[in-house]
Chain A
Amino acid sequence: MNVNEPFDVFRARLNSGEESCEARTQQYLSTISRRKNLNAFLSVFEDEALAHARSVDKKIKAGGAGHLAGMVVAVKDVICMKGKRTTCGSKVLENYEAIYDAAVIEKLRAADAIVIGKTNMDEFAMGSSTENSAFGPVKNPIDETRVPGGSSGGSAVAVAAGMSSTSLGSDTGGSIRQPAGLCGIFGMKPTYGRVSRYGLVAFASSFDQIGPFANSARDVAHILKVIAGHDERDSTSAKLPVPDYLAAMNRDVEGMKIGLPIEYFNEALNPEIRSVLEKRIAQLRDHGAEFIDVSLPHSEYTIATYYILATAEASSNLARYDGARYGYRSPYAKDLSEMYTKSRSEGFGAEVKRRIMLGTYVLSAGYYDAHYRKAQKVRRLIQKDFFDAFKKVDCLMTPISPTTAFKFGEKVDDPLQMYLSDIYTVSANLAGIPGISVPAGVDRQNLPIGLQLLGKQFDESALLKVADFLEQQE
């Protein structure tokens, strides 16, 4: 039984009765327990997932099972599930039990997907290596001395190590695409507003978006089809129809125009990554795609803009963790003011504090215009760069990360170096456009190299089509 096979293939065997969801779920559970040392999961719903699998098996037999019947999904621990711990990788929420289901969880359940557990992550999704979890780092299954990327490291590892068929993560500056790249799987950040954020614990509300990890582009499409769409409980979710992503995946790239941003293919690009991307470009070109150099002139300002705006939003969103209504409360506080300060200081980890400090600073009196407002203006320039490029091309191809998976401890003490590992991914969140990480090859040490495709707002279809084409090439 190959747990990495595409969902379509597995589903056909489920329908014909050759396989069962229960057996498959059991297999994922065994892998989770065998590879516990990877620290990918914070909770595993063993009995519940098996019971659910049995009921889905019955439904398949009886007919009328949902679109994702038989898909076993792991969910990043920043997404609420009623009655389950939702820790956000933080000591602050160590014992927090969600009191409602996120919109994406309702949709997965309605489609008969089975949720197997909640995955480890950088605290409040802040990080690029999953070293910032209060519950210990996640290891990369390909080389356990290396990070899986972050912040959705647990969700990436769950899929890469065969602990679930797909997973959900959240992407604020690259937190789905970068770990997908470092673990050698597919990971998509949909357009801002494509998927409801209802029940997603907020980090930076104008950037956050939920999206899937999977072993194939078609599986990304299957899960996106189910979780996408308007939700009145998230007023930023778009009132647009959800296209039939799978129908668009016809592997015909003839005549497609793909842009290569010259700023991303500069001399600083790692030569091994460049050569893998060039091979992929040649494959597309051989099948009739046209490549065009485009310029995104404000690329060098993306990291600075992102870290001003995202930390500002985070400092405001994380003000809610005050020890009053839920979450960690310090036992040492003598009055209300101390309760706030001590609960927050004892509860949050170093990176979260650093970002709250930076965000508070850029929003504080005297600096708001110079930093926050300035960055909002540059954000418009960055978005315009993309909109201009998309007048000429259907999508863009770029690297996903400046390096392959790095070693533990390599960047954790140098926040700026860590922030720069998001250099190719944050622009999509600044512009609100979709992006997907596609496995493209390996380096000399056999570590995965991913490539990124970026698309027009709400045109995930073009990305899935190219990703699916690339998946068929060797």
Chain B
Amino acid sequence: MSITIKEVEHIAALARLEFSDEEKEKFTHQLNDILQYIEKLNELDTSTVEPLSHVIELSNVFRDDVVKPSISAEEALKNAPAKVDTLFRVPKVIG
């Protein structure tokens, strides 16, 4: 299986990234190398294996829903690139 420049463009759009034509070509080449390498996993029959998503034994961790102190709006906005009063400011949504 190999990945095309068109697919790289599609993945980039999903990841909200944009690349120059030169970068696209380089990424396509490098991603293909990596994808070819990971194809290796298909040598293994895993039809009876359960996927592992958590490495230590843990079940759901529940806690009581209690009101506790949290960060203030001021702190939450401290690193905001742009803000108005207690709100994050962003460019217009509809162009």
The answer to whether B41 and A374 touch across the interface, beta carbons within 8 angstroms, is: yes
In the complex, A380 has a CB within 8 A of chain B: yes
Which B residues are CB-close (under 8 A) to A298? 44
The answer to whether A236 and B58 touch across the interface, beta carbons within 8 angstroms, is: yes
A340: shortest Cβ distance to chain B, in Å?
5
The answer to whether A97 and B78 touch across the interface, beta carbons within 8 angstroms, is: yes
The answer to whether A344 and B58 touch across the interface, beta carbons within 8 angstroms, is: no
Which B residues are CB-close (under 8 A) to A337? 95
The answer to whether A457 and B46 touch across the interface, beta carbons within 8 angstroms, is: no
Which A residues are CB-close (under 8 A) to B55? 192-193, 206, 383, 430-432
Known contacts A325-B88, A327-B79; is-contact A358 B16 (Cβ 8 Å): no
In the complex, A38 has a CB within 8 A of chain B: no
Which A residues are CB-close (under 8 A) to B49? 377-378, 380-381
The answer to whether A377 and B50 touch across the interface, beta carbons within 8 angstroms, is: yes
Main SS of chain B's interface residues? loop
Within 8 A of A (CB), among B1-56: 3, 7-8, 11-12, 14-19, 27, 30-31, 33-35, 37-38, 40-42, 44, 46, 49-56
Which A residues are CB-close (under 8 A) to B67? none
Known contacts A358-B34, A383-B55, A415-B30; is-contact A378 B41 (Cβ 8 Å): yes
A470: shortest Cβ distance to chain B, in Å?
27
In the complex, A300 has a CB within 8 A of chain B: yes
Known contacts A206-B55, A415-B30; is-contact A315 B15 (Cβ 8 Å): yes
Known contacts A383-B55, A416-B33; is-contact A304 B38 (Cβ 8 Å): yes
Interface string of A268-291 (1 = CB under 8 A from B): 000000000000000000000000
The answer to whether A300 and B40 touch across the interface, beta carbons within 8 angstroms, is: yes
CA gap between A371 and B35 in the complex, in Å: 10
The answer to whether B46 and A378 touch across the interface, beta carbons within 8 angstroms, is: yes
The answer to whether B80 and A326 touch across the interface, beta carbons within 8 angstroms, is: yes
Which B residues are CB-close (under 8 A) to A308? 38, 41
Known contacts A308-B38, A357-B31; is-contact A345 B18 (Cβ 8 Å): yes
CA gap between A326 and B89 in the complex, in Å: 11
Known contacts A96-B79, A339-B90; is-contact A377 B51 (Cβ 8 Å): yes
The answer to whether B38 and A307 touch across the interface, beta carbons within 8 angstroms, is: yes
Q: Name which of A6-14, A50-58, A328-336, A435-443 contacts chain B.
A: A328-336
CA gap between A319 and B55 in the complex, in Å: 24
CA gap between A334 and B91 in the complex, in Å: 7
Partner of A326, one of B40, B79, B95: B79
The answer to whether B81 and A323 touch across the interface, beta carbons within 8 angstroms, is: yes
The answer to whether A356 and B15 touch across the interface, beta carbons within 8 angstroms, is: yes
Which B residues are CB-close (under 8 A) to A377? 46, 49-52
Known contacts A324-B88, A327-B79; is-contact A192 B56 (Cβ 8 Å): yes
Known contacts A364-B14, A376-B52, A377-B51; is-contact A335 B37 (Cβ 8 Å): no
Give the one of B16, B30, B91 with max A CB within 10 A: B16
Partner of B52, one of A97, A300, A371, A380: A380
Which A residues are CB-close (under 8 A) to B7? 361
Which B residues are CB-close (under 8 A) to A300? 40
CA gap between A374 and B92 in the complex, in Å: 41
Partner of B50, one of A100, A192, A380: A380
Partner of A325, one of B16, B30, B41, B80: B80
CA gap between A341 and B81 in the complex, in Å: 15
Which A residues are CB-close (under 8 A) to B34? 307, 358, 415-416, 419
A-B contact pairs, 23 of them (CB 8 A): A99-B71, A206-B53, A238-B56, A301-B40, A305-B41, A323-B81, A324-B90, A329-B81, A341-B16, A342-B18, A348-B17, A353-B19, A354-B30, A354-B31, A357-B8, A357-B11, A357-B31, A364-B11, A371-B38, A377-B51, A415-B30, A415-B34, A432-B56
By a beta-carbon cutoff of 8 Å, the part of chain B in contact with chain A is 3, 7-8, 11-12, 14-19, 27, 30-31, 33-35, 37-38, 40-42, 44, 46, 49-56, 58, 61, 63, 71, 75-76, 78-82, 88, 90-95
Instruction: Give 10 new A-B contacts, CB below 8 A, not counting A235-B61, A334-B95.
Output: A206-B54, A232-B63, A238-B56, A322-B16, A326-B81, A339-B90, A357-B15, A381-B44, A416-B30, A416-B34
Which 10 pairs, one residue from A and one from B, show the smallest C-beta to C-beta distance?
A432-B55, A376-B51, A326-B79, A329-B81, A380-B52, A377-B46, A235-B61, A304-B38, A377-B49, A360-B15
